Amino acid sequence: MWREVPAEDDGCYPKNSKRVFIVSFAADDVLKELRSHQMVRVFATAIRDFSDRFFGADLLPLLTPKKRERIEKLVRAEDVIRALTGERLIRDIAGRELGIEAAAIQFDTNAYGKPFLVGHPGFHFNLSHSGRWVVCAVGANPVGIDVEQKGGADHETAAGLFSEEERQDLAAYSAADLRSHFYRLWTLKESFMKCIGKGFFADLGSFTIKIGDDGIFQKDRLGAIDPRYTFRIFDLDRDYALAACSEGEAFVDDVTMV
**Domains in the chain with CATH codes:** 2-257 (3.90.470.20)
* Cα–Cα dist 195/190, whole Å: 8
Structure confidence at residue 25 (pLDDT): 37
How much is the pTM? 0.84
How many Å apart are CA 169 and CA 62, to the nearest integer? 45
DSSP 3-state of 203: coil
Beta strands in the chain (DSSP E): 2-6, 18-22, 39-46, 107-109, 115-117, 124-130, 133-139, 143-149, 208-212, 215-219, 229-234, 240-247, 250-257
Calpha distance 185→166 (Å, rounded): 8
Cα(179)–Cα(183) distance, integer angstroms: 6
Give the integer Cα–Cα distance in Å for 37 and 190: 25
Q: How far apart are the first and last CA of the chain?
A: 16
Those residues of the chain that have pLDDT short of 70 are 1-37, 152-154
pLDDT tens by residue, 164-220 = 999 999 889 888 888 899 999 999 999 999 999 998 888 888 999 999 888 999 998
Q: In angstroms, rounded to a whole number, what is the distance separating the alpha carbons of residues 198 and 114?
A: 7
pLDDT of the residue at 14:
38
Question: Would you give the distance in Å from CA 255 to the centre of its chain?
Answer: 11
Q: Return the pLDDT at 151.
A: 84
